[in-house]
Amino acid sequence: MKSILVTGGAGFIGSNYINYFLNKRDDYFIVNLDKLTYAGNLENLKPVENKKNYVFVKGDICNRELVEYIFERYNIKYVINFAAESHVDRSILGSAIFYQTNVIGTNVLLETARRYEVERFLQVSTDEVYGSLGATGLFTEQTPLSPNSPYSSSKAGADMMVQAFYHTYGMPVVTTRCSNNYGPLQFPEKLIPLMIINALNNKKLPVYGDGMNVRDWIYVIDHNIGIDLVFNDGKIGEVYNLGASNEMPNIEIVKLILSHLGKGEELIEYVKDRPGHDRRYAIDSSKIQKELGWKPQYTFDDAIANTVEWYLSNKEWWGRIISGEYQKYYSDQYSTRIKG
């Protein structure tokens, strides 16, 4: 059986990926290497934890000995690298761990993958590496990298390293760059789950700046279907953008969430802007559509309704999260932002 090393598989997108993948295939063995940072949660993997073709290893992608051991022990021939520090606001509070995990960690994986002659290495990246757009235009795969936050610069560094390993060593790499995801199991530091949970708790909804920053939203399952296509059929050395052409200003999303929950707009609180806040992201995904036949399967209206419903039905999941270390993060992040 072919073995895939999936890193960061206990986080939001990685756990959705593993649950989706193992539900439809049993011809691969998945080794999930995850450090279980604040964002990693083994509860996310309940549906697969007893599968014979799945094993979880708690550990750091920066740990060379451990990574080497995993390649040897499980005869790894494929890698999908989801593991990352993923939140822009946290990267502004402290950047070192972002460069450690996102850059050095990717280097450890690439070096080991090179020695073990993997057949495919998929780097899960983000549209944020392209920087910020003005009122018009879309990011294509040709848009120069121009990251603005510690988070996006660490991801851009990793992307360039992946390309360098392709050009220098001929490594069989592929890269996906996706827009903002939403869906079940997303840690409630990101816009959509944070607003849902605050609204359910009748807490203020902190909207940064004028609320008119634009993100291009994609349902996590559509992202993972794209990853799977690129993993199987993507051309070596290529980058594929993924996005569902669903641009929305933040304030509209926040109002939509309130209306889904039957809550009033008096909960909205405009707060001090994020430093260096990228104004607009919007992605052109015509390459993956034309070359690999991908297209989003979910409409925003249906998928946001599913997502709100999931958080309503899974209060225990997020209740455990927000009662822990999250409290300290929330006060570090938001106490200095409130105006006045």
Q: Which residues are catalytic?
A: 127-128, 151
Which residues 26-45 are close enough to bind ligand NAD by CB under 6 A? 33-37, 39-40
Site for ligand TYD in 57-96 (CB under 6 A): 88
Cα distance between residue 215 and residue 159, in whole Å:
21
Binding segment for ligand NAD (CB under 6 A), chosen from 173-181, 227-235, 293-301, 328-336, is: 173-181
Q: Considering the complex, what minimum distance in angstroms separates the CB of residue 111 from ligand NAD?
A: 15
Q: Which helix (H) or strand (E) holds 12?
A: helix 12-24
Nearest residue by C-beta to ligand NAD?
11
If one asks whether residue 247 binds ligand NAD (CB under 6 A), the answer comes out as: no
Residue 38 makes contact with ligand TYD by CB under 6 A: no
- Cα separation, 57 vs 174, in Å, equals 24
- Please name the residues in contact with 324: beta carbons below 8 A apart, sequence gap of 6 or more: none
* Comparison of 238 and 269: residue with beta carbon closer to ligand TYD: 269
Query: Least distance in Å: CB of 204 to ligand NAD?
Result: 23
- Of 20-28, 80-88, 135-143, 285-293, the segment contacting ligand NAD by CB under 6 A is 80-88
Residue 57 to residues 32, 62, 159: CA-CA distances in angstroms? 6, 14, 25
Which stretches does DSSP call E strand in 8-60? 28-34, 54-58
Rounded to whole angstroms, the Cα distance separating 271 from 24 reads 44
C-beta of 14 vs 157, nearer to ligand NAD:
14
User: Is there binding between residue 124 and ligand NAD (CB under 6 A)?
Assistant: yes
Q: Which of positions 179-198 make contact with ligand TYD (CB under 6 A)?
A: 180, 190-191, 194
In whole angstroms, give the CA distance from residue 277 to residue 151: 12
* Site membership for ligand NAD, residue 261 (CB under 6 A): no
**Binding status of residue 258 toward ligand TYD by CB under 6 A:** no
Dist. CA 307–CA 311, nearest whole Å: 6
Q: Which one among 13, 192, 196, 271 touches ligand NAD, defined by CB under 6 A?
A: 13
What lies within 8 Å, CB to CB, of 310 at 6+ separation is 183, 184
Residue of the chain from 80, 83, 162, 194 that contacts ligand NAD (CB under 6 A): 83
Strand ranges, E, within the chain: 2-7, 28-34, 54-58, 76-81, 120-126, 173-178, 180-182, 205-208, 214-219, 239-242, 247-249, 268-271
Give SS3 for 255.
helix
Number of other residues whose CB lies within 10 A of the CB of residue 269: 15
Shortest Cβ 35–ligand NAD spacing (Å) = 4
Residues that bind ligand TYD (CB under 6 A): 88, 180, 190-191, 194, 206-208, 213, 215, 250, 274
Residues that bind ligand NAD (CB under 6 A): 7-8, 10-14, 33-37, 39-40, 60-62, 82-86, 101, 105, 124, 126, 155, 178, 180-181, 187
